[in-house]
Amino acid sequence: MLLNSYKITRTLPCLADPEKIRVIAEISDEIHEVFPYLNATLKGCIYNHPALTLTIKKDGKLFTLHAHHITLAKIEDEKEAEEILRWLRDLINETYEKRDHIEPNFSKGAELKALDIYKLLPGTSCKKCGELTCLAFAVKLVGQEIEITKCIPLFSEEYQEKRKVLFELLQAAGYDIPQMFLKNEEDLDVGVKGA
Closer CB to ligand SF4, residue 1 or residue 152? 152
CB 185 to ligand SF4: min, Å: 18
CB 144 to ligand SF4: min, Å: 15
Q: Which residues contact ligand SF4 (rule: CB under 6 A)?
A: 121-122, 124-129, 131, 134, 137, 151-154
CB 120 to ligand SF4: min, Å: 10
Closer CB to ligand SF4, residue 1 or residue 126? 126
Closer CB to ligand SF4, residue 120 or residue 172? 120
CB 12 to ligand SF4: min, Å: 22
Q: How far is residue 97's CA from residue 158's CA, in Å, rounded to a whole number?
A: 45
Closer CB to ligand SF4, residue 131 or residue 168? 131
DSSP state string for 110-122: SPPPHHHHHTTS-
Torsion sign over Cα 106, 111, 116, 121: positive
Sheet with 46-48: strands ordered across: 6-13, 21-27, 69-75, 61-66, 53-58, 46-48
Q: What angle do CA 2, 52, 135 make, to 5 degrees?
A: 130
